[in-house]
A and B are shown apart, each in its own frame.
Chain A
Amino acid sequence: MPPPTLLETRDEPRSVEEAPSAAWRNPRPPGTYNLAILGGGPAGILAAYAAAEVGAKVALIERNLLGGACLNTGCIPSKSILRTSQLYADMRHAESFGTQAPKDIRVDFAAAMARMRGIRARLGRRISAERLRALGIDVYLGAARFTGPNTVAVDGTGLRFRKALIATGSRPLIPAIPGLAEAGYLTHENVFDLTECPRRLLVIGGGPLGCELAQAFCRLGSQVTIVQREPMFLSQEERDAAQILSASLARDGVDIHLNTNAVSVRVEGKQKLVDLISDDNHNTVTVDQILVGVGRTPNVQGIDLEAAGVEYDEVDGVRINDFLQTTNSRIFASGDVCLEHKFAHIEDASARLVVRNALFWGRQRLSALTIPWCTYTDPEIAHVGIYVTEAIRKGIPVKTFTVPMHDVDRAIADGEEEGFVKIHVKEGTDRILGATVVARHAGEMINDISLAIGSGIGLRVLARVVHPYPTQAIAIQMAAAAYNGTRLTPFRKWLLRRWLQ
Chain B
Amino acid sequence: MADGSTLTDEALLDELQHAAFRYFLQTGNSSNGLVADTSRTNAPVSIAVVGFALSCYPVAVERGWMPRADALQRTLTALRFFHNSDQSGHPEATGYKGFYYHFLDLHTGGRVWRSELSMVDTALLIAGALTASIYFSANTPDEIELRELADSLYRRIDWHWAQNNGSTIMQGWKPDCGFLHYGWEGYNEAIVLYVLALGSPTHPLKDDGYQSWTSTYQWENIYGCDLLYAGPLFVHQFSHAWIDFRGIQDRFMREKRCDYFENSRRAVYMQREYAQRNPRGFAGYDENCWGLSACDGPIDPSDPLKVRRRLFGYAARGAPYGPDDGTIAPSAALASVPFAADLALSAVRHYREHYPDMLREFKLPSGFNPSLPGNGPGGWISQGYFGLDQGIIVLMIENYRSQLIWSLMRDCSDIKRGLRRAGFRGGWL
Q: A240-B321, A255-B305, A404-B279 are in contact. Are A231 and B221 (CB under 8 A)?
A: no
- Nearest-Cβ distance from residue A367 to partner chain B, whole angstroms: 23
B215 and A279 within 8 A (CB): no
0/1 interface trace, chain B 108-127, chain A, CB 8 Å (1 if under): 00000010100000000000
- Chain A hits for B216, CB < 8 A: 389, 392
A247-B323, A389-B216, A407-B277 known; A280-B221 Cβ under 8 A? no
Query: Given A259-B181, A406-B277, are A400 and B219 also a contact pair (CB < 8 Å)?
Result: yes
Interface residues of B in 279-312 (CB under 8 A from A): 279-280, 305, 307-310
Are A402 and B305 within 8 A (Cβ)?
A: no
A392 contacts across to B, CB distance below 8 A: 215-217
Main secondary structure of the interface of B (DSSP, over half): loop
Contact B181 A231 (CB under 8 A): yes
Contact: A279 with B183, CB < 8 Å?
Answer: no
* A185 contacts the other chain (CB 8 A): no
CB interface residues, B 251-293, toward A, < 8 Å: 255, 277, 279-280
Asked if B88 is at the interface (CB within 8 A of a chain A CB), the reply is no
20 new A-B contacts, CB < 8 A, other than A400-B221, A417-B280, are: A230-B183, A243-B321, A247-B322, A252-B308, A259-B182, A388-B218, A393-B215, A397-B255, A399-B226, A400-B220, A401-B221, A402-B220, A402-B229, A404-B222, A404-B279, A404-B321, A422-B220, A427-B255, A482-B221, A483-B221
Q: Mark B165-193, 1 if CB is under 8 A from A, else 0.
A: 00000000011110011110110000000
A393 to B, closest residue via Cβ: B215
Q: What is the bound-complex CA distance between A82 and B309, given in angstroms?
A: 21
Check if B224 is an interface residue, CB within 8 A of chain A. Answer: yes
- Assess the A253–B307 pair: CB atoms within 8 A: yes
Give every chain A residue within 8 A of B177 (Cβ-Cβ): 279-280
Give the residues in chain B near A238, CB-CB below 8 Å. 218
Is the pair B323, A239 in contact by a Cβ cutoff of 8 Å? no
CB of B99 to closest CB in A, whole Å? 16
Chain B residues with Cβ below 8 Å from A253 are 307-308
* Distance between A61 CB and nearest chain B CB, rounded to angstroms: 44
Say if the beta carbon of A302 comes within 8 Å of chain B.
no
Are A279 and B224 neighbours in the complex by a CB distance under 8 Å?
A: no
Q: Is A486 an interface residue (CB 8 A)?
A: yes
Residue contact B114 to A232, C-beta cutoff 8 Å:
no
Supposing A239-B185, A252-B308, A253-B307 touch, asked if A400 and B224 sit within 8 A by C-beta, the answer is: no
User: With A243-B321, A250-B307, A404-B320 as given contacts, are A231 and B182 in contact (CB-CB < 8 Å)?
Assistant: yes
Complex Cα distance, B185 from A238, in Å, reads 9
Residues of A within 8 A of B (CB): 230-232, 235, 238-240, 243-244, 247, 250-255, 259, 279-280, 388-389, 392-393, 397-402, 404, 406-407, 412, 417, 420, 422, 427, 482-483, 485-486
Chain B residues contacting A243 (CB-CB under 8 Å) are 321-323
Using a CB–CB cutoff of 8 Å, the interface residues on chain B facing chain A are: 114, 116, 174-177, 180-183, 185-186, 215-224, 226, 229, 231, 255, 277, 279-280, 305, 307-310, 320-323
C-alpha spacing A185/B311, complex, angstroms? 33
Flag if A280 contacts B220 (CB, 8 Å). no
A249's nearest neighbour on chain B, judged by CB, is B309
Task: Specify which chain A residues have a CB less than 8 angstroms from the CB of B180 in the assembled complex.
Answer: 259, 279
Smallest CB separation, B24 vs chain A (Å):
31
For A230, list chain B residues within 8 Å (CB).
181, 183
Q: Are B183 and A231 in contact (CB under 8 A)?
A: yes
7 contacts between A and B (CB under 8 A): A235-B183, A239-B186, A243-B323, A247-B322, A253-B308, A404-B320, A417-B280
In the complex, what's the smallest C-beta–C-beta distance from B46 to chain A, in angstroms? Answer: 19
Bound-state Cα–Cα, A238 to B320, Å: 15
Complex-state Cα separation, A243 to B226, whole angstroms: 22
Closest CB of chain A to B306's CB: distance in Å?
9
> Are A239 and B183 in touch, CB under 8 angstroms?
yes
Shortest CB–CB separation between residue A438 and chain B, in angstroms?
Answer: 9
User: What residue of chain A has the Cβ atom nearest to residue B321's Cβ?
Assistant: A240
**In the complex, which of the residues B174, B279, B305 contacts A280, with contact meaning CB atoms closer than 8 Å?**
B174
Give the distance in Å from the alpha carbon of A279 to the alpha carbon of B102 in the complex. Answer: 15
Report how far A251 CA is from B325 CA in the complex, Å.
Answer: 11
Which 10 A/B pairs are nearest by Cβ-Cβ distance?
A: A406-B279, A280-B176, A231-B183, A250-B309, A253-B308, A400-B220, A280-B177, A392-B215, A402-B222, A255-B307
Contacts of B183 in A (CB 8 A): 230-232, 235, 239
A227 CB, nearest partner CB in chain B, Å = 14
- Per the bound structure, the CA–CA distance linking A279 and B216 in Å amounts to 24
C-alpha spacing A482/B229, complex, angstroms: 16
**Cα distance, A406 to B231, chains bound together (Å):** 16
CB <8 Å contact, B321 and A244? yes
Q: Roughly how many angstroms separate A105 CA and B216 CA in the complex, as a whole number?
A: 45
Contacts of B220 in A (CB 8 A): 399-402, 422
| Alpha-carbon distance A404/B273, docked complex (angstroms) | 12
Residues of B within 8 A of A252 (CB): 308
Assess the B277–A389 pair: CB atoms within 8 A. Answer: no
CB atoms of A254 and B221 under 8 A apart: no
Q: Tell me the minimal C-beta distance from A440 to chain B in angstroms.
A: 15
How far in angstroms is the closest Cβ of chain A from B210? 14
CB < 8 Å neighbour of A427 from B175, B219, B322:
B219
- Contact for A251 among B116, B174, B176, B308, CB less than 8 A: B308
Chain A residues with Cβ below 8 Å from B322 are 243-244, 247
Find chain A residues with CB under 8 A from B114 CB.
Answer: 280
B222 cross-chain contacts in A, Cβ below 8 A: 402, 404
Residues of chain A with a CB closer than 8 A to B116's CB: 279
The distance from the CB of A224 to the nearest CB of chain B, in whole angstroms, is: 9
| Set of chain A residues within 8 Å of B305, measured between Cβ atoms | 255
Least CB distance, A222 to chain B, in whole angstroms: 12
